[in-house]
Structure 1
Amino acid sequence: MTPRPLFLYALCGSQRQVSTSRRLLEALQLACPEGITIEICDLIGDLPIFNPDHEGEKTPPVVEKLAEKIRKADGLIVSCPEYAHGIPGGFKNALDWLVSRDEVPFKPLMFAHASHRGDLVLEQLADVLRTMSLRIVSEAFLRLPIAGKSDELQAEALAEARDNDLLLTSLSRFADAISAEG
């Protein structure tokens, strides 16, 4: 039996186009085996500041678009740097828009971390995401410390991770966990 195709939606905690978190997500996107597609979210920077008065019928269209992408996803990948010992404000704002919605509960989630440190943000994110009832797939956790390295060293590390199947292994573990839940 051929496994069904999987659509994964990747959320980047940094809004910089050249961030190492985004670069890691792009490397995962390129490493996808047949049957897995990753789309990197480009909506987070466009979200208005969360206000509960603007939920329901007043929900902004960009929030609805983000929620629809998440609804369609078989799983989420989160790559987020640590800013000032915490979750970057724009990313936390995106999560706040999703808290009371029905797209995220029990959705499988994989962390892809681009730093050798930043465990505080991982702990904070895990706490927030579990509170939102997302299912963190710990066996798929990917840490590739490319933050703070030159572009050349980042490219080398990403190529090595691709060549030694580190990226593929994490994606495969995530896909297996999604498939196992039916």
Structure 2
Amino acid sequence: MLPHARYTKTAMLLHWLIAALMAVNIALILAVDHFPDDWVRPAVDTHKSIGITVLGLVILRLLWRFTHRPPAMPLSYGRLESFAAHAAHGTLYALMILLPLSGWMHDSAWKDAAAHPMHLFALVPWPRIGWIMNIEPATKEMLHDKFGALHIWAGYILYGLFALHVAGALKHQFIDKEPELQRMLP
């Protein structure tokens, strides 16, 4: 494989770090209902911290991508496959930004947010979104529900798109016999 057909080491690191953090965050929040009561708040706080971390890493990944051109798609990919891959990647980036932002907005609209300061990984104070915190209570409660629903539905869309992303990579690697995984593996 030609060196220019691979992603940079920084792009690979950010890709896999974001993917791992998202997998941990999904597993954590899906398991939280099975935790003892005294573990729930720390688990939810960890979920928030990972989400904010993912948001920062995705912004870094986008800045890297804008300044370091990704490798071209193999010439064997059809126009429809190339279009679908670009559309899926764009949508994945949008969701990786929307999910943490909608979660942050949901948390900022929580009626008890003022009584429970947020700290990233129990260390770094993190602000809530001020304009949301200062909305009158009835509207804030309605926004809390709306932002929560947006967060959940964006998550479901991400799950489906992630499955297509993995299936596409595996199809190109094992059926089409393209060195697809090698482009993103160190």
- TM-score greater than 0.5 by the shorter chain: no
Q: Which has the larger radius of gyration?
A: 2
TM-score (norm 1): 0.27
Query: Which has a greater percent of strand?
Result: 1
Query: Which has a greater percent of helix?
Result: 2
